[in-house]
Amino acid sequence: MCGIIGYTGYREVSAVLIDGLKKLEYRGYDSAGVALQGSEKLVVTKTAGSVDGLKEMLINLADSHLAGIGHTRWATHGRPTEVNAHPHSSCCEDIALIHNGIIENHSSLKKWLSEEAGHVFRSDTDTEVLAHLIEEYYENDLLLAVRKAAAKVKGSYALVVLSAKEPGRMVCARQDSPLIIGLGERENFVASDIPALLAYTKDTIILEDGEFASITKNDVQLYNQEGNIIHKDVFKITWDVESAEKGGYEHFMLKEIMEQPVAVRETLRQRLDMETGEVTLDELDFNQEELANLEKIYILACGTAYHAGLVGKFILEKLAGIPVEVDVASEFRYRDPIINKNQLAIVISQSGETADTLAALRLVKSKGVKVLAITNVVGSSVSREADQVLYTWAGLEIAVASTKAYLSQLAALYLLSLYFADKRSGLANNLAHELAAGLVALPGQLKLLLNDDNLQEIKRYCEKLAKWDRAFFVGRNLDFPVAMEGALKLKEISYIHAEAYAAGELKHGPLALIEEGVPVIAIATQKHILEKTLSNVQEVKARGGDVFMITKKAFAESFKKGEACFYLPDSAEILMPVLSAVVTQLIAYYTAVIRGSSVDKPRNLAKSVTVE
């Protein structure tokens, strides 16, 4: 996730920028850069390395700067190289800017700017378009040029811009990406995150979507889209540095759970038309014949990504009619799989660096099978070695237990299923329409699901669960992978021995372990097997098992008043695994907190498993 810091004031500008960037390092980055403004020109320094490396590069620059901007980049468009690092400059190098977010219409803007207005581009980034666009509109008023450029742009941005012709002035804009102004005495700051400015000030102004700011060392002016001055309250930060990094949440895991509506929206953004539900995956280039001849798909992954694959099997088979086999990568690589060229391998990996997933990828490639990667990290080994890549754009995930990356993997798989279905047989079925409409509504539903009342309800249940050392998760059909993921989450962070079972399998063994009070979390969101799951639940209850149901509002009349049920918002049935997974994440989270375990860094586990 990219980080932004900007400063104008009496201190050594480069030192404040480096200090701010160091405070943003926890968010992860692959390259960094600053632009320093003297009285006549802008000097840009960038590196595909660390902030410490950048600091070394700045040592010999004389310090008589009036303002400066600094950025840590987490690659999205274009590889993590020096050229692609921010700040980006206009042709004449008298405008420099840093940007968080994605410019969705960058291709058409770039075409126009280069072919009709003669601008020369240097990088592969979407961001560079902004520098040229602002240059195009610049007539000695940076704010006006930024406003005009913003009006042309589609997408998300937190933007800080300098002009060599307006020394000591920073202009900022925000749309769907956070930007905070820090207020000081004879100095002012701007940053994407509170930790970057907390050492200097606790007085801030939170910029909202569609707002602009002009900042000098003695003045901060705020504007709306029409260019009228607006006034906003000063927000006093009461957090310490540690909680500021977590956005005020107690743990990164909770922060990441709460970020899921945004993470899923980012995965869908630009790929799903939010009005028509149409899916376009420009990054993929399967030809019609290839897809028509596709006999089978292997999904290969580890851990949580494997569970996303299990959901993927259901949806790909249902929508695209292609048989899918899902394998744990560490098993697949040693089992002599029967593979041929008319098959496709999909590898799923948040980090893109998991050793077994990478080995499985190399194995299928060596047999001539094409590989499509679903990953969150641009430039990762998996993304480099796969034939095609579908990025999840979930943003950096810090907690070891994966949450938002998992949901965005699911979102990518839904998109892929619609894409395959469309290419193979058209989308003339109700299921596809229902799914597309459901996806459009999904970010909003996730937001609704994460409301405070629901969090409290789940927390209350966890008070009871936390007293046990064992628990079961059960479900059938699409609910079964969710049960598996729920059990994994609970065991990895609360250390409760949690097992997932296909509900129909209970009587083949685990029922022997059910006695008075044993917690069983049952997931039932699929109408056609609701009665079957409910019979299994009865078997558990008859033996004293304590059942917590995760089900949907539409099924409410199947349950008696007073039964422990969590009702999910109704969505397309095929999409319910996204919603029910959130409840199981919260169950794991609150139970771990109540038990006092190390939520973000569970014992013996690592975020990225780069050894076999």
Largest interatomic CA distance in the chain: 81
* Segment holding 491, helix H or strand E: helix 479-494
Does 330 contact ligand G6P by CB under 6 A?
no
What proportions of the chain, in percent to the nearest 5, are helix, strand and coil?
A: 40, 25, 35
Q: Is the peptide bond before 87 cis (omega within 30 degrees of 0)?
A: yes
Does 292 contact ligand G6P by CB under 6 A?
no
Least distance from ligand G6P to the Cβ atom of residue 302, Å = 4
Given the complex with ligand G6P, which of 202 and 607 has the nearer CB atom? 607
| C-alpha–C-alpha distance, residues 263 and 75, integer Å | 16
C-alpha 549, offset from chain centre? 28
| C-alpha–C-alpha distance, residues 72 and 119, integer Å | 25
| C-alpha–C-alpha distance, residues 18 and 31, integer Å | 13
Residue given tokens 């376009």 in the structure block: 280
Least distance from ligand G6P to the Cβ atom of residue 400, Å = 5
Phi, psi (deg, nearest 5) at residue 426: 80, 170
Residues in the chain: 612
The stretch among 36-44, 301-309, 418-426, 550-558 that binds ligand G6P (CB under 6 A) is 301-309
Does 477 contact ligand G6P by CB under 6 A?
no
Looking at the DSSP assignment, which residues form a beta bridge with residue 222? 213, 230
Helix (H, G, I), strand (E, B) or coil at 588: helix
DSSP states of 410-438: HHHHHHHHHHHHHHHH-S-SHHHHHHHHH
List 173, 302, 339, 482, residue binding ligand G6P (CB under 6 A): 302
Given the complex with ligand G6P, which of 5 and 400 has the nearer CB atom? 400
Does 304 contact ligand G6P by CB under 6 A?
yes
**Positive or negative torsion for Cα 254, 258, 262, 268:** positive
The stretch among 35-43, 221-229, 303-311, 318-326 that binds ligand G6P (CB under 6 A) is 303-311
Supply the DSSP symbol for 87: P
Residues annotated as catalytic are 2, 607
| C-alpha–C-alpha distance, residues 610 and 270, integer Å | 32
Does 392 contact ligand G6P by CB under 6 A?
no
Does 402 contact ligand G6P by CB under 6 A?
yes
Given the complex with ligand G6P, which of 303 and 337 has the nearer CB atom? 303
Does 609 contact ligand G6P by CB under 6 A?
yes
x-or-dash string of contact with ligand G6P, 251-290, rule CB under 6 A: ----------------------------------------
DSSP states of 446-484: HHHHTSHHHHHHHHHHHHHHTT-SEEEEEE-TTHHHHHH
Given the complex with ligand G6P, which of 70 and 303 has the nearer CB atom? 303
Does 172 contact ligand G6P by CB under 6 A?
no
Given the complex with ligand G6P, which of 594 and 609 has the nearer CB atom? 609
Residue given tokens 């669960």 in the structure block: 465
Does 464 contact ligand G6P by CB under 6 A?
no
Q: Within 547-606, which residues bind ligand G6P (CB under 6 A)?
A: 605
Least distance from ligand G6P to the Cβ atom of residue 446, Å = 20
Does 188 contact ligand G6P by CB under 6 A?
no
Helix (H, G, I), strand (E, B) or coil at 258: helix
Given the complex with ligand G6P, which of 26 and 567 has the nearer CB atom? 26
List 400, 490, 493, 583, residue binding ligand G6P (CB under 6 A): 400
| C-alpha–C-alpha distance, residues 422 and 416, integer Å | 10
Least distance from ligand G6P to the Cβ atom of residue 99, Å = 27
Q: Token pair for residue 416?
A: 């892929």
DSSP states of 383-420: HHHSSEEEE-------SSS-SHHHHHHHHHHHHHHHHH
Least distance from ligand G6P to the Cβ atom of residue 605, Å = 5
x-or-dash string of contact with ligand G6P, 336-355, rule CB under 6 A: -------------xxx--x-
Given the complex with ligand G6P, which of 85 and 588 has the nearer CB atom? 588
The stretch among 211-219, 302-310, 331-339, 502-510 that binds ligand G6P (CB under 6 A) is 302-310
Does 608 contact ligand G6P by CB under 6 A?
yes
Does 607 contact ligand G6P by CB under 6 A?
yes
Burial class (CB in 10 A: 0-12, 13-18, 19+), 306: buried
Given the complex with ligand G6P, which of 397 and 422 has the nearer CB atom? 397
Does 357 contact ligand G6P by CB under 6 A?
yes
Supply the DSSP symbol for 177: S
Binding site for ligand G6P (CB under 6 A): 302-305, 349-351, 354, 357, 400, 402, 605, 607-609
